């Protein structure tokens, strides 16, 4: 499983973090190109591949590869 977050468009809204039922994502230290604090993968081993974070992202910044 691989989770990618596009730093060009992420606005740090956190919807992906709040939507994940498995506590996979958290806010990190890195900033997007727009200056927002981006989410990062915290516990990849918890990811079940439900794609909810990818679906909820209003800017289509998250890509999950199985």
Kindly report, residue by residue over 5-38, the tens digit of the pLDDT: 999 999 999 999 999 999 999 999 999 999 999 9
Nearest alpha-carbon partner for 9 in 33, 39, 37, 40: 33
Q: Which CATH class is domain 2-60?
A: alpha beta
pLDDT for 47 beyond 90: yes
Q: Is the pTM of this model over 0.75?
A: yes
Nearest alpha-carbon partner for 42 in 10, 16, 63: 16
Q: List the beta bridge partners of residue 41.
A: 25
Q: What is the pLDDT of residue 66?
A: 84
For the segment 59-63, the average pLDDT, to the nearest whole number, is: 96
Cα separation, 31 vs 39, in Å, equals 9
């Amino acid at each position: 499983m691989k989770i990618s977050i596009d730093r060009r468009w992420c606005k740090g809204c956190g919807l992906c973090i709040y939507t994940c039922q498995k506590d996979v994502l958290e806010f990190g230290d890195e900033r997007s190109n727009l200056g927002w604090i981006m989410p990062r993968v915290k516990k990849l081993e918890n990811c079940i591949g439900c794609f909810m974070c990818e679906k909820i992202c209003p800017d289509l910044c998250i890509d999950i590869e199985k």
